Amino acid sequence: MDLHNPRVDVVLFDVGNVLIQLNYDRIFELWAQPGAHDPKALRAKFKLTESFYDYERGTLSTAAYTQSLNTLIGTDLNVDEFRRGWNAIFDGEIPGMSRLLDDIANHARLFAFSNTNVDHVAHFPDYDDILHRFETVYVSNDVGERKPDVAAYRKVVNDIGVDPGRVLFLDDLQDNVRGAIDAGLHAVQFVDAVRARLDVSRYLAIPSE
């Protein structure tokens, strides 16, 4: 096989919408129920705030983020109601990814890195069928940094113990891809398993289809 790019020793994957499908509508449907809100109106008010980023860095508690969220979208959720909606986001494995991971594992080490929070991490064991393939699943709330900050990638790569130039990173968000490149990693945007297989095959001798 003709490899067009330098070979890599590690392939690093995002989790949400790369390995596990996320369903954002479910969150707002459940958050709307206690106060009889319009789910679409709640979703329109939602945005990523500094409180959200702190929650993902592990520096803000679930209770504190729930309070911040209530102020933002005009709800009166308690922590249990928040978690009920928040954790309904998971919607099954992305088709084709388990097979791709198995093919990669014959040629490179596998790791994952997710911007996430303590409440979502608590549900990762539900997806052990796919996540068990990774040596480590790094999460922003433990790392203390989040993508796309260069410091986040450097902490993960340093912990793995590999040169950044020997790592290929896949993420569905272009900003996170750019952050990885700024940190010295190879990186490509994830679209689906078919495209990811083709992209990875340019670095590793795996089947391209």
How is residue 125 written in tokens?
């064991």
pLDDT of residue 64: 98
- The stretch 6-17 carries a mean pLDDT of 95
- Tell me the per-residue pLDDT of 161-180, one tens digit each, with 9 for 90 and over: 999 999 999 999 999 999 99
Backbone CA torsion sign across 127, 60, 43, 27: positive
- Enter the pTM of the model: 0.94
Q: What's the rounded Cα separation, in Å, for the pair 143 and 133?
A: 20
Which CATH superfamily is 10-19+94-200 part of?
HAD superfamily/HAD-like (3.40.50.1000)
How is residue 130 written in tokens?
């796919």
pLDDT of residue 4: 60
Q: What's the rounded Cα separation, in Å, for the pair 178 and 183?
A: 9
| pLDDT-above-90 percentage for the chain | 95
pLDDT of residue 207: 87
Q: Which CATH architecture has domain 24-89?
A: Orthogonal Bundle (1.10)
Would you list the domain boundaries of the chain? 10-19+94-200, 24-89
- Tell me the per-residue pLDDT of 179-200, one tens digit each, with 9 for 90 and over: 999 999 999 999 999 999 999 9
Q: What's the rounded Cα separation, in Å, for the pair 159 and 197?
A: 26
